[in-house]
Amino acid sequence: IFQRKTTLFTFDPVHVLHVRFRLDSAFERIIVVLLPVRTTLHEIRSAGASLSGLESRRQKLTIWPEWNDADVNVEKWDIPKKEEKKTAKSPTQQSHSIFEDLDGKLELPPSLKADSWKRPAEFIRDRIPVVLDTDNVSSGFDLVSNNKHLHESEFMRHCISQIIALWEMSVVNVPIDIQEAAVISDETTHSWYPWEHIYSLCKAGKGPHMPLYNSYGKYVIRLYWMGCWRKITVDDLIPFDSHGHMLLPSSTLQHELWPMLLTKALIKVA
């Protein structure tokens, strides 16, 4: 099911060209073309070629590597793997290199059209970019106020609403005394934090971690896909439309990068 298979079945009164495409995320895409019974072999081949052209324009299926803490803990955050040997002999080139996603620029949902792509340092002027603003984490986050221009995108609506729903459902009360767990205070915490799916300049393993802003632009996202946790690598190139609107969700703290980085990974596996 990961390779295209084309089979011609003959039925009366039509020929059916059954084309099975590669597995696309969690769904198998099937296109069936009905052709008149008198269709010539040349016409059938032409129809098949058109469908093959349609498939070739689609991004090839990527099977992201399974998550491994040890692999992330030896990740090189400042040099892309394909340039390690090259830049090892050129310190000046290494210092100026910026990571670019090996999969190319992100393919956005059809309703969103990117006019330009910018790094955080290009659009965050008044603050130092961070993955998470730890000074405001206790107050939660707002993914609605600054993202109204994204609500026409079905994918973005689902993405934003599901992150908010998971956040609300993960609320837990904090015991006043750990030794007496039955005594519950009014203070709450969360059992899930969206930014903890992001890794950069930090170690993976049991317990919480804090991803840091990487001026080189490389981040690793941990997502559950196709039956196991996967390692999704993204850069921090952010798309903007012709009106200057960011085309990825942001919180009201616009120097925070976690909503954009997490959404980039979700789009890649969608």
Residue with the bigger pLDDT between 112 and 185: it is 112
Q: What local confidence, expressed as pLDDT, does residue 54 receive?
A: 47
Of 81-85, 130-134, 209-213, the least confident: 81-85
Which amino acid does the sequence have at 230? R
The alpha carbons of the chain give a radius of gyration, in whole angstroms, of 23
Q: What local confidence, expressed as pLDDT, does residue 119 receive?
A: 97
158-177 burial by CB neighbour count: b if 16+ within 10 A, else e? ebbeebbeebeeeeeeeeee
Percent of the chain with pLDDT over 70: 65
User: How does the average pLDDT of the chain come out, rounded?
Assistant: 78
State the DSSP string of 164-189. HHHHHHTEEEEEEETTEEEEEEEEEE
Q: What local confidence, expressed as pLDDT, does residue 156 receive?
A: 97
Residue 110 pLDDT greater than 50, yes or no: yes
Residue with the bigger pLDDT between 114 and 27: it is 114
Residue with the bigger pLDDT between 28 and 169: it is 169
Confidence band of 83 (pLDDT split at 50, 70, 90): low
Confidence band of 94 (pLDDT split at 50, 70, 90): very low
The stretch 35-55 carries a mean pLDDT of 54
Closest CA to 210 of 134, 265, 263: 134
Residue with the bigger pLDDT between 55 and 242: it is 242
Confidence band of 212 (pLDDT split at 50, 70, 90): very high
Residue 73 pLDDT greater than 60, yes or no: yes
CA 233-234-239 angle, to 5 degrees, is 165
Of 29-43, 68-82, 155-169, the least confident: 29-43
Q: Does the predicted TM-score (pTM) go above 0.75?
A: no
Give the integer Cα–Cα distance in Å for 184 and 76: 43
Residue 179 pLDDT greater than 90, yes or no: no
Torsion angle, CA of 128/222/59/29, rounded to 10 degrees?
-140
Residue with the bigger pLDDT between 112 and 187: it is 112
Residue 26 pLDDT greater than 50, yes or no: no
Closest CA to 106 of 236, 220, 221: 236
CA 200-204-208 angle, to 5 degrees, is 95
State the DSSP string of 108-164. --TT---SEEE-HHHH--SS--BS--TTSGGG---SSGGGGGGTTSHHHHHHHHHHH
Q: Is 243 helix (H, G, I), strand (E, B) or coil?
A: coil
* Token pair listed for 117: 């792509």
Encode pLDDT of 242-264 as tens digits: 999 999 999 999 899 999 999 99
Q: What local confidence, expressed as pLDDT, does residue 59 receive?
A: 53
Could you state, in order of their start, the residue ranges of all structural domains in the chain?
A: 5-56, 69-269
Q: In this structure, are residues 59 and 105 in contact, taking their beta carbons and an 8 Å threshold?
A: no
- Quick one: 238 exposed, middle or buried, by C-beta within 10 A (0-12, 13-18, 19+)? buried
Confidence band of 132 (pLDDT split at 50, 70, 90): very high
Residue 19 pLDDT greater than 50, yes or no: no
Give the integer Cα–Cα distance in Å for 36 and 100: 49
